[in-house]
Amino acid sequence: MKKVLMLSAAAVMLAACTMPSSYLGYALIAQTNEPTLVTSNSGTRTGTACGTNILSIFSSGDMSVEAAKAQGKIKTVTSVDRQVTNYVVYAKVCTVVTGN
């Protein structure tokens, strides 16, 4: 029983390292869309750039605004949003840029 508790505690600690920050705080399982930059203009194009994290051991991806602009062929940014998905040991954060 002691080993099970120790392994469970270790798993929770490792999972806590993969949790991306959110306006709502930290959660073991989360899926949110968060506004980062909003203007009064509207855009017709959308670009997305994502990064992932697995157990805080492996992280990859370019989730920059510049990468999202390039993916959507956007020159003028009208809004920037962040999509956060977290499932205990796997996290994905995407930057979504809208513009023209």
Cα–Cα distance, 57 to 50 (Å, whole number): 17
Q: Where are the domains of the chain?
A: 2-99
**The two three-digit tokens of residue 1, written as one number:** 């029983």
Read off the pLDDT of residues 20-75 as tens digits, 9 standing for 90 and up.
555 556 677 788 888 888 888 889 999 999 999 998 788 999 999 999 999 999 99
Neighbours of 76 (CB within 10 A): 11
Supply the pTM of this predicted model: 0.74
Cα–Cα distance, 7 to 69 (Å, whole number): 43
Cβ contacts of 71 within 8 Å, gap of 6 or more: 47, 48, 49
Cβ contacts of 39 within 8 Å, gap of 6 or more: 77, 78, 79
